[in-house]
Every structure is written in structure tokens, then in C-alpha cells.
Chains A and B, each alone.
Chain A
Amino acid sequence: MTQPAVQFADVSASRGGRAVLHHVTVAVSTGQTVALVGRSGSGKTTLLRLVNRLLDPDSGDVLVDGKSTREWDPIALRRRTGYVIQDAGLFPHVTVADNLATVPRLLGWPDSRVTARVDELLSLVGLDPGVFRHRWPDELSGGQRQRAGLARALAADPPLLLMDEPFGALDPITKGELHAEFRRVQRTLQRSVILVTHDMAEACALADQIAVLHDGHLIACDTPANVRDSEDPRVSALLGTP
């Protein structure tokens, strides 16, 4: 078996002096999408942030490509790790094209390559470059913003993608469209993805593996089919909520 893209090894972490993760061990295989599911406060976002060193664990290790995050230069680590959050977090003061161009420019790509890449990405996420290139973020609908956010995260072709409730603020129809879009993109690109969501249906629709967190403990980690059949009442409770 190849080395996992991300490996959480007995990780404990706290926020603001309060322990929120307890001895979590889980692996994300290369090219797979793993959903972290749990209610608010279960520790899923904290687990995600350990990957790109927005946080460091109290104990245990997070290995990215076999190397502990503590040994990664955080800047280099983040530039090869795409990051998408709810409502996209686009920079409001620059155009969509400039948002997408941020990391490629930081990496010193020549302008012609950046421009070509921006158009390629917009097409990839279903936004017409001719229409959206020079739009401002506040001129986009929620779904369009989320598409642009995904495109921005993919800009420098990162092997790893972190997504924190990326579809949380969307209406059901748009959400469905974006799920389809995500599956299409993922079929093409085959990135390693960690997806945080409180929505088990979404996790089942998008993920290869589902890790269920409850009060900072990992209580299940399996394929969608097996998680759906779980007898654990804490897991089935999550299934009940859309």
C-alpha cells in the first residue's frame, strides 16, 4: 500500500485551553476523499486545521506525505494545500481572476501562465472565464462564490485539498449542482481531499471514507455504506439530520 497523503497518529489538540481532540488516529489515502462528520463542537474543524498547521497538536503527530507537520515549513505546506471554507473567503478587494491568481503569483509563475491557468480553472469549475474573470466577489451568487473558492484552492495544482463546510451556506438545488460539479472535478483530478461537514448525506454523496467524530473522539471510520449501517446510536443520530 502506498503512503497515505495524510496520517493522523494518536492526535490530541486543544483550543483556548480546552481539549477538543482525544487520541485520534485516521489516515487519508492518496487520491481519496475523506469526510469528517460530526455535530458542532465535535472537533472536526480543529482536526482539519492541524493539516495545514493553522494549529499544532498537543500530542501525537500529523504526517503529510509521511513528514510530520512540525517539520514542514508552514508556508511551503500551505502553498501545496488547497483550502476552501464556507462562503469561500474570497478577497473582497480584488477580482475573481486576481483571487485565483494569488498562490500562483506567490509561487512566482510568469504572468502568461497565471492568466492561462485562471481561465482553465474557471472553466473547470463551470464559470465562463469571459464573464467571470473581471467580476468582483460581491457580484457573485453564493454558488458562484463557492465555485470560485474551489478554483482558487486548486490554482497551484495542490496534491491535497482541505474543505471546511464548503457547501454549508447554499440552497439545496445549488448544493446538488455543486456536489455534481465536485464529483466531476474529483474524477478528473483525483486529489486527496479532506471534507468537513455536519451533513451525513453530503458525506455519503462525496466521500470514499467517512470519519465520524463525537466530542473529540473518533467513533467510526468506514465506507459510506458501512457507516450508514452503523448500529452506534451516535452515528445514526447524525444520519437523521439532513
Chain B
Amino acid sequence: MNELLAFIASHRAEMATRLSEHVVLVAASTAIAAAIGIPLGVLAARRPSLSRPIVGLANLAQTVPSLALFGFLIPLPFIGGIGTRTALVALTVYAVLPILRSTITGLQGVPPAVVECAVAMGLTPRQVLRQVEWPLALPSIVSGLRVAVVIGVGTATIASAIGAGGLGDYIFRGLAMVDPTVILAGALPAALLALAADAALAAAGHLSDPRRRSRRHVVILAAAGVFVVMVAVAGRTSGGRADLVIGSKNFTEQVVLGELMAQVVEREAGLKVERRLNLGGTAIAHQALLSGGIDLYVEYTGTSLTAIFNEPPSADAEAVFATVRDRYAAVGVTVMPRLGFNNTFAILVRGADAKRLGMTTVSALTANRAWKAGFGYEFLERPDGFKGLSAAYGLTFADAPRVMDLNLIYRALAAGEVDVTAGDATSGLIDALGLTVLEDDRRYFPVYDAAPVARASVLLQYPAAATAIRGLAGRLSAADMRRMNFAVDGEKQDPAVVVRAFLDRIGRF
């Protein structure tokens, strides 16, 4: 709890921004959904033949998992892409169903005798709707709005994955860092926001009850509305416009690298940087870069080659870099000089074994057929995983390698359950558990050199930012990266603090 309060205190300004982003996302999407759902509900209640397809469609939309929906939306023109607009579309889709349903239920719940009387008294269809059906259906419609808002507050946390900000930033950051404090910093305000919004709408519901209608309620509600708008506006404007938007994908190393880029640009180029960290994956980060949602993030050359440009993987670092540089140039993206480390697979043994046997390379491993090997499922399956490795080095083991969970593999090795495994070259656990990386002396593994990629136009506009980032070329070793990853994951340090310490150490400031 104290940690949470300390985190909130030290992130006050940012939290206000995220909270206001969240409020704006939910309020705007619910309003749009109401503008769609209520008229559709009226139509469906009027014509039962339309009711089934309309509700069916809304049901279907509701069953699409939110991340999948964001994924579908990203490539679409106008409503797609990355950022607030796409998030609004997705949130609206989710909010329509409860509003639509409650509208239909509310209208169908109006006693037929009452409607018949209204018609027989000479009310026009419009007057029947406005004077009789609408007021009687309103409590149900308000309850639908309440459901929509509560769902919206929850779903909006996922909007963070496509760079729309909101409180989900903390949840995703916390998940990536395995830090419950940071998760809570997002989840707790989101829960409170949901409760507050629900209570506000409940008050509005009382207002729709004619017997409790009073000026006092109107005043309270208006005040609440003004307050929400003010929070939103204050949060929006307090930051001012950033010169540069820096992104990252959603795992610890990426967040650290994003923070590193941001601090260097802020300090050395004196520019205002907005951080869009924790984007939901390579495809989303790339789309964000192309659409201008972000201006820069750190990518790995091998990932660009295979995942973005659909080329086969390669272990030739220079060839990969040249290919990727050319392919990016064609879409207006500049690949900056590589930072200095290669985040590829690493064959790991216990440090004590390596020292005892004087083992430094993967080739040396072939002398130990009796060793027990354990690998992650993916490494065993991928063609560029164990199969290729075995062929390239003539490496075989007496027993078939064990399949293990990737997260447990480092500890299993340290504990002696296996003798050799394949891990991630920049995992913070390698140093923390005293493991040794064997050199890939036959250059079998594809290369994944970290390199910032940036929108060319932005680099032209802010040459100082380009200079600052170029200054990091070759300055970040795999050991540095491992240390920073461990500081965040293992020691629960704030990425901003870890990055500042690193920059101080290499004498940048």
C-alpha cells in the first residue's frame, strides 16, 4: 500500500493525464454508442422483424475479444490505425449492445394498455414515443448506460495496447514488469472510476424518475458533468503538445529502451517527449510508426526482417541491417545506428560448469552428450530453434531435450535440473543466477540487433533529436541490457531511474 501511494505521488502529473484520457475515452464512446444504440433500439422495438438481426449483430460484436477487435481495426482506413480514434471505435462497439438491449427491453416493458390509450387519445406516433414510451423506458435505458459505462471503464484499459493511453498504461506496464504496485496504480483508479461513473448515472436515473425529480438533482448532476469535463480538459492541456512521441512494445526491455530514447532526447535535444510505451506488439508498434501515432521506437533488425517485411531470418548482421534499412526507407522510416546488443537466443550453461571445463562456445558443448538439455516449447518447434542448432553444430544429446516453460528455464538450469538450455540473450536472470552465455561461434542464430527506427520527416524536423540518439550507437552492450532488465524485473526499480543511472554511468549527462 505504501509502495502504491509512493508510486502515485511520484507519478501525479502522468496519472492525471492517464485518468483524463480514460474518462474521455469512456465518456465519448458511451455517448456515441447511445447515439447509435438508442435509435436502433427504438427501431428494433417497433419492428420485431428487425429486432433479431440488430441484436444478433450487436451480440456478435460483443463476443469478439477486445484485443482481437483492435487487431481487426488497425488496418482499416478512417476508423482504424492506432491511437484514440481506433480505441473509440472499439469501445463504442462494446457499449452499443447493453444500450440497445436496455432500450428494447424498456420499450417492450411499457404496458400495451397504456400505449393503446395514448394512441386512442389522439397522440401522434411521435408524441406517443416522447410523452409515454420514452419516459417509461428511461429507467431501463439508464441501467443499460450504467452497464455500458462500467464495461467501458474496464475495456478502455486495453486501449493502452494500441496507444490510446488511459489507465491501462499502468496495468500493461505492471504486467510487463511483473510489478503488482504498477498494476494496482492502473487497476485501482479504474475500479474507482467505474464506481464513481456508475453512481453518477444512478443519480441521473433518479432524475428520470418523475417523483424524485427536483432542481437539486439537476444541479448536482450538472456540477458532476462540469467537473468531469474540467478534469478531462485539465489533464489534456496540462501536458501541452509534445514535440516527439516515443513508443515501445510491451515487455520490460522495450519499456527500458523507450525510456532511454525519451530521456536522451529530452535531456540532450531539450525537446518535449510524449511516451507511448507498452504498445501491444510488433505489428501495432509498426502501424503506429507508419500512421504517425508514434515517431520513434526501438526495433530489432531480425524482427523487422521477418515479422514486418516477411523475409527469411538471417544470421548475417550487416546484410540484415542493410536490407531492413532499405525496406524501411521505402516507407519513410529511418533506421538509426544500432545500439550495440543482439537480442537473440542464447545457449546457456551454469557459470561454474563453464569455468570448470573452460567452455566458451557452443561448439565446445558437443563434447558433453550426456548432459541434460531443456528448452522452451517454441525453441523446440521453430525451424531456427533446436533442429537447426543441432544440424549446424552436430549437437546431439543422449536423452531427448525436456520441454519446459520459458519462464522457469533459467531457474531450472541454475538448480541443476538441466545442464544446458536456450534463453534470451538479454534476460536479466542470466547474470542474477550466475549463468554463462556460450558464444554462437558458427553464427547459427539469426541476428536481432536493437536499432531505433524513426519517422524520417520527424528526424529532419528535429535534427537535435537525431544527433542525441546517434550518440548512443554501440554504447549499449548485452550485459548493460541484462543489468537494466534485472534492475526493473528483479529489483522492481522504476525504469526511469534505471535508465538515468545507466546514462550517468556511461557519462552522457
Pair A52/B120 contact, Cβ less than 8 Å: yes
Pair A106/B127 contact, Cβ less than 8 Å: yes
Pair B114/A89 contact, Cβ less than 8 Å: yes
Q: What separation, in Å, do the CA atoms of A93 and B122 have in the docked complex?
A: 18
Q: What separation, in Å, do the CA atoms of A27 and B321 have in the docked complex?
A: 98
Shortest CB-to-CB span from B93 to chain A, Å, is 32
Shortest CB-to-CB span from B126 to chain A, Å, is 11
Q: Which of B412-470 contact A (CB under 8 A)?
A: none
Residue of B116, B121, B135 with highest tally of chain A CB at under 10 A: B121
A17 within 8 A of B: no
B308 within 8 A of A: no
A7-15, A72-80, A119-127, A222-230 - interface stretch? A72-80
Shortest CB-to-CB span from B119 to chain A, Å, is 7
Q: In the complex, what residues of A have CB within 8 A of residue B113's CB?
A: 85-87, 89
Q: In the complex, what residues of B have CB within 8 A of residue A136's CB?
A: 211
0 or 1 for each of B161-181: is its CB under 8 Å from A? (1 = yes): 000000000000000000000
Closest residue of chain B to A153 (Cβ to Cβ) is B121
**Contact size class for A?**
20 to 34
Pair A83/B114 contact, Cβ less than 8 Å: no
0 or 1 for each of A77-98: is its CB under 8 Å from B? (1 = yes): 1110101011101111110000
0 or 1 for each of B111-130: is its CB under 8 Å from A? (1 = yes): 10110111111111001000
Say which residue of A81, A85, A106 sits within 8 Å of B116 (CB atoms).
A85
Tally the A-B contacts, defined by beta carbons under 8 Å: 57
Pair B132/A75 contact, Cβ less than 8 Å: no
**Contact size class for B?**
10 to 19
Q: What separation, in Å, do the CA atoms of A74 and B124 have in the docked complex?
A: 9
Q: With A92-B114, A93-B135, A136-B211 in contact, is A54–B122 under 8 Å at CB?
A: no
Q: Which of A43-92 contact B (CB under 8 A)?
A: 52, 54, 74-79, 81, 83, 85-87, 89-92
Q: In the complex, what residues of A have CB within 8 A of residue B394's CB?
A: none
Closest residue of chain B to A84 (Cβ to Cβ) is B117
Q: In the complex, what residues of B have CB within 8 A of residue A90's CB?
A: 114, 117
Shortest CB-to-CB span from A33 to chain B, Å, is 19
A115 within 8 A of B: no
Q: What separation, in Å, do the CA atoms of A207 and B207 have in the docked complex?
A: 46
Q: What separation, in Å, do the CA atoms of A92 and B139 have in the docked complex?
A: 13
A-B contact pairs, 21 of them (CB 8 A): A54-B119, A54-B120, A76-B122, A78-B122, A81-B120, A85-B116, A89-B111, A89-B113, A89-B114, A89-B117, A91-B118, A91-B131, A92-B136, A93-B210, A94-B210, A102-B121, A102-B131, A103-B121, A106-B122, A106-B127, A162-B120
User: Residues of A with Cβ closer than 8 Å to B?
Assistant: 52, 54, 74-79, 81, 83, 85-87, 89-94, 102-103, 106, 136, 152, 162
User: Residues of B with Cβ closer than 8 Å to A?
Assistant: 111, 113-114, 116-124, 127, 131-132, 135-136, 210-211
Given A78-B120, A79-B121, 11 new contacts (CB under 8 A): A76-B122, A77-B122, A78-B119, A83-B120, A85-B117, A89-B113, A90-B117, A93-B132, A102-B123, A106-B121, A106-B123
